[in-house]
Amino acid sequence: MEQKCYIYSPDDSDERASKRRRIACAAGWSLREQLYGEFWAPLEHRIQTQSTLEEADSTTLEKIIKFVSGAVVAPDRQEAVIPTGLILAGSSIASHRSFFDRLGRKIVLDTGSTFVLLTSGECLNLKALVKSLIKKLTSRVGGNDDEEDEEDEEDENHTGNVSRIGPKLRDYDLVRLQEWYSKTKVDSIVVAIQDSEAFDFSVLAEMAELLSSWMDRLPFLLLFGIATSSESFQSNLSGAALRLLKGEEFNVTQADDIFEKIFCTTVGSPEVSLYLGPDLSRRLVDRQKDHVQSVQDFSDAVKYAYMCHFYANPLSVFLSQSLAFGEMPHDVWEATRNLPSFRRWVNTLLEDGRAKEVRRLLESDRYLYDNIKHHIASGQTAMFKLVSATSVLAAIRVIVQKVPHVPRSSLYIRSTSGELNGSPLIREMLLMLSKVSSDTFSSVLTSMELLQNSYVPIDIAVYRRELDALIKRNPNSTPLRSQHDVKNNSLRTTIVAQKVQLSKHKSTLSELDSSYSELVRRFHDDVENYFEETLIDPRDLFLSEILLYDLKSPLSEVFAPKPRFAIERALSSPHDYLGCDCCSSSEGALSGTQPVTAILYQLYLESGSIINVNDLWMAFHAIIGEENDESESNAMALFEQALANLKFLGLVKESKRKADHISKTTWKGL
């Protein structure tokens, strides 16, 4: 029998452990492990600084705080209306909690108010709501002070309970709160309802009524977290309750947007040194949107991708900038020569008739090393340019109006899969760019100036100077227009020989306008060339396997396992796992050589929702008996073992419907 819990001591299976010692990957791995550290640490740091999400929704927080501090009125007011903030926190409920936590901290810090967060779980009815409200508030002040107070109170209640407050107060009596309030004198009591949709709306209405009746004594302020819309929230509350609330609406940055920001500054940033490929990034983004929606998970996934790259790909040592030829592990050269991208590259070399070079590549490790070094550097530059171009594209698209919004992450995915060059997205953007008026153009230039750490070969400053000069010469306040702008054309209808002629006429452009048009055209051409040059398909690069990590295999299984599928597969076709000779012949069919639980499982699959155990045993015995001439009791032992296994896995349970029957609980593949 196994022990319950114990501390491992090695003598248990010492010789076995030593047998397992492996030396194979040792040499390269320590190098790569070190590299992994160098590569991952800055990225992790960046995710972490970025994910101090405060930055992302700080404006909303500011607004709410302004509202809270603005709502503070003299405590002796007579109005019974509660100031209310409706916080539209978006549909991703998972992020609400953290938002309200931050909000609470900030409110307590920046204003003279206290903050209570109520969730639907603790407020099943009004009594429970008020109880937890009072409890949370009165225990807030913290420390021993509070406890003493309470004890004092208890004492008072105990000794002279009739004299001062009358009978002992119930723990849901707001008089308690009033007492507490008179001691602390906060500006206002902010009551936040985190998940308003999950509340019983009659409870919310009752709460509004109750709190408003106390407004002359206690300065309440309500904040509702709303996942749907303020309209649906209003329609759920009764009119009487609504009249007691004086609302203001706040929009919180959605989790999607926050994620988008984090994606841009981390994975989609040009400066990273290992790029994630399009398939993997798409998976990450989809998973983030559909399932997890937490920055931690995203960070974990990216981290694991890095780990996989460096752990499983021995060639990743080439990413190191400092390693000399002699320090490289020996096996990498042969491995490099087997890379698909190496073959592709060599083929193009051969087509160019550079057979000598190819021969040298195949024969000399040293020569290969130099080439790899060179290509890694050039590949990294190409990747850098590519991702920079993506951010330029995104920046211009944001400013040039009238183009549909495409998230940055999807731009990244498209660019790394090489789809972007010449795509409608680019053409559309270029078209709009040729039509911009001078003020928009100016902001395009500004945003491109702001793009740091990106590769932009266009000399923005020159354009800026010329534009400034033009604007200076512009006598009126209207912005300069480009000649391609449709607004400058007017349609003229003329009747010539009884036929209507529609003709476009360029409205006369001023001399200024035409020189501006010239400027825009030049810029447009520059940008076009720039995209043409940078938007390559990174997978065509030599050594793209090293520069780009794009394997979905370990990542998806490791984070989203399919345990049920694994077990069903193991039991229904054990050969997949065992790879034995005896069971392979019967593909998908029963055979007596399979593991006993697998046999029983397949019989189980064939039966209905309740199973007669005796019949099952007969069938089992027939199959087992065929192959190995087992005695009945031995077969029975195997049967019992298999049955107990099925039960342990939760596939069957006892049935009371009939004697000696068990009921089936799972269906394969569901």
Partner 1 sequence: MKRKLTKDEPRTPTRKRTRASAPDEEEENGVIPAVETPSRRTRGQHSLSEDIRHEKVNGVKDSVLNGVNEHGTPKSLRKVLFSTPTKPRDEESANGTPTIVRNADRSARRKSTRRLIERTINGDESDEGEDEEALVEQILGEEGEDEEERDGLEDIDQEGEPAPETPSKRGRGRPKTKPRKQHSPTPPQNLPAHEEYFWQNRPGGTKTSNNIMSSRILLAYDEYRDAIKAYKDPHAAEEEFLLELHSRSFDQWIFELQEGFNICLYGYGSKRPLTKMFAAHLYEHLSNKPPYSTSKQKPKIVIINGFWRGIRSFITIKDILTTVASSVFPPNTKFSSQPATLLTSILTYLNENPPPRPLPIILNSIDFPALRRSPIPSILAQLSAHSSINLICTADTPNFPLLWDLGQRAQFRFLFHDATTFAPYDAEIDVVDSVNQLLGRSGMKLSGRDGVSHVLRSLPVNARLVFRILVTEQLALFAIDGTADSGADEGEEPDFATTATPRHETNPASRKGESTAAIGVDYYGAYRKAVEELACTSEVGFRQLLKEFFDHQMIESRKDVAGKERLLVPFRREELEEMKNELTNEEDF
Q: Which of residues 543-582 bind partner 1 (CB under 8 A)?
A: 557-559, 561, 563-564, 566-568, 570-571, 574, 577-580, 582
User: Shortest distance, CB of residue 270 to partner 1, whole angstroms?
Assistant: 26
Calpha distance 484→507 (Å, rounded): 11
The one among 351, 511, 587, 606 contacting partner 1 by CB under 8 A = 606
Of 51-59, 483-491, 499-507, 661-669, which segment contacts partner 1 by CB under 8 A?
Answer: 661-669
Q: State the amino acid at position 346 in one-letter form.
A: V
Pick the stretch among 125-133, 372-380, 414-422, 634-642 that binds partner 1 (CB under 8 A).
634-642
36 versus 516: smaller Cβ distance to partner 1: 36
Nearer to partner 1, 441 or 549 (CB): 549
3-state SS assignment for residue 243: helix
What is the number of other CB atoms lying within 10 angstroms of the CB of residue 355? 11
**Site pattern 311..340 for partner 1 (x: CB under 8 A):** x-----------------------------
Near partner 1 by CB under 8 A: residue from 13, 178, 348, 453:
13
225 near partner 1 (CB under 8 A): no
Closest CA to 128 of 68, 73, 29, 206: 206
Which of the ranges 247-255, 497-505, 515-523, 605-613 carries the binding residues for partner 1, by CB under 8 A? 605-613
The answer to whether residue 603 forms part of the interface with partner 1 (CB under 8 A) is yes
To partner 1, the closest distance from the beta carbon of 48 in angstroms equals: 13
Question: Can you read off the two tokens belonging to residue 158?
Answer: 């105990």
Comparing CB distances to partner 1, the nearer of 278 and 592 is 592
- Report the distance separating Cα 214 and Cα 218, nearest Å: 6
Residue 663 contacts residue 654 (beta carbons within 8 Å): yes
Q: What is the dihedral of CA 43, 48, 52, 55, to 10 degrees?
A: -10
Largest CA distance in the chain: 112
Confirm or reject binding of residue 626 to partner 1 (CB under 8 A). Answer: no
515, two tokens: 């020189």
- The answer to whether residue 20 forms part of the interface with partner 1 (CB under 8 A) is yes
Binders in 641-660 for partner 1, by CB under 8 A = 641, 643-645, 647-660
Within 494-523, the residues that bind partner 1 by CB under 8 A are none
DSSP 530: H
Closest CA to 138 of 178, 191, 108: 178
76 binds partner 1 (CB under 8 A): no
Would you say 164 or 656 has its CB closer to partner 1? 656
Residues 22-51 that bind partner 1 (CB under 8 A): 22, 25, 29, 33
222 bridge partner residues: 84, 191
Q: Which stretch binds partner 1 (CB under 8 A): 13-21, 80-88, 219-227, 366-374?
A: 13-21
Handedness of CA 357, 362, 368, 372 (dihedral sign): positive
Residue 307: exposure state from Cβ atoms within 10 A (0-12, 13-18, ≥19): middle
Asked whether 335 and 314 are in contact (CB, 8 A), the reply is yes
Please identify which residue in 6, 89, 189, 470 interacts with partner 1, judged by CB under 8 A: 6
290 in contact with partner 1 (CB under 8 A):
no
d(CA 89, CA 267): 26
The DSSP secondary structure of 436-474, one letter per residue, reads --HHHHHHHHHHHHH-TT----S-HHHHHHHHHHHHHH-
| CB-nearer residue toward partner 1: 50 or 645 | 645
* Amino acid letter for position 443: S
In the complex, minimum distance from the CB of residue 334 to partner 1, in angstroms, rounded to a whole number: 21
Q: Does 300 bind partner 1 (CB under 8 A)?
A: yes
What is the separation, in whole angstroms, between the first and last Cα of the chain?
A: 36
Helix (H) or strand (E) holding 644: helix 632-648
Select from 135-143, 258-266, 321-329, 633-641 the region that touches partner 1 (CB under 8 A): 633-641
Asked if 355 interacts with partner 1 (CB under 8 A), we say no
Only one of the segments 150-158, 335-343, 375-383, 611-619 lies at the binding site for partner 1 (rule: CB under 8 A); that segment is 611-619
Half-sphere exposure of 129 (CA within 13 A, CB side): 24
- Our CB check for partner 1 shows the closer of 289 and 668 to be 668
Least separation, in Å, of the C-beta of 196 and partner 1?
Answer: 20
Q: C-alpha dihedral over 361, 365, 370, 374, to 10 degrees?
A: 60
Under the binding rule (CB under 8 A), the answer on residue 121 touching partner 1 is no
Give least dist CB 64 to partner 1, A: 25
Q: Which residues is 88 bridged to in the sheet?
A: 226, 251
Task: Find the shortest distance in angstroms from Cβ 252 to partner 1.
Answer: 19
Q: Least separation, in Å, of the C-beta of 38 and partner 1? A: 14
Who's near 166: CB < 8 A, 6+ residues apart? none
- Closest approach, Cβ 274 to partner 1, in A, equals 15
Query: Per rule CB under 8 A, is residue 3 in the interface with partner 1?
Result: yes
Residue 337's Cα: distance from chain center in Å? 37
Part of the chain binding partner 1 (CB under 8 A), chosen from 207-215, 290-298, 346-354, 375-383:
290-298
Cβ neighbours of 293 (radius 10 Å): 20
Give whichever of 461 and 580 is closer to partner 1, judged by the CB atom: 580
Exactly one of 102, 303, 337, 552 binds partner 1 (CB under 8 A); that residue is 303
Question: CB within 8 A of 582, min separation 6: which ones?
Answer: 591, 593
| Minimum CB distance to partner 1, residue 149 (Å) | 25
Cα 221 from Cα 210, distance rounded (Å): 13
| Of the residues 155, 327, 615, 626, which one makes contact with partner 1 according to CB under 8 A | 615
Residues 86-105 touching partner 1, rule: CB under 8 A, are 94
| Min dist. Cβ of residue 564 to partner 1 (A) | 4
DSSP string for 205-227: HHHHHHHHHTTTTS-EEEEEEES
Structure tokens at 259: 């994620």
Please pick, from the candidates 294, 410, 437, 514, the single residue that binds partner 1 as defined by CB under 8 A.
294
Q: Which of 17, 81, 461, 469 binds partner 1 (CB under 8 A)?
A: 17
Interface with partner 1 (CB under 8 A), residue from 292, 346, 361, 433: 292
Distance between CA atoms of 624 and 616, rounded to whole angstroms?
12
Beta carbon nearer to partner 1, 313 or 341 = 313
For 302, residues 6+ apart whose C-beta sits below 8 A from its C-beta are: 43, 47, 266, 267, 276, 284
Cα–Cα nearest to 468, from 441, 487, 493? 441
Q: Show contacts with partner 1 in window 164-203 (CB under 8 A).
A: none
* CB atoms inside a 10 Å sphere around CB 209: 16
Size of the site for partner 1 (CB under 8 A): 101
Determine, following the binding rule CB under 8 A, whether residue 297 of this chain makes contact with partner 1.
Answer: yes
**Which of the ranges 55-63, 132-140, 367-375, 603-611 carries the binding residues for partner 1, by CB under 8 A?**
603-611
Burial classification of residue 572, based on how many CB atoms lie within 10 Å of its CB (0-12 exposed, 13-18 middle, 19 or more buried): middle
Q: How far is the CB of 5 from partner 1 (least distance, A)?
A: 4
Q: Looking at 2, 76, 334, 351, which residue binds partner 1 (CB under 8 A)?
A: 2
Q: Does residue number 610 form part of the binding site for partner 1 (CB under 8 A)? A: yes
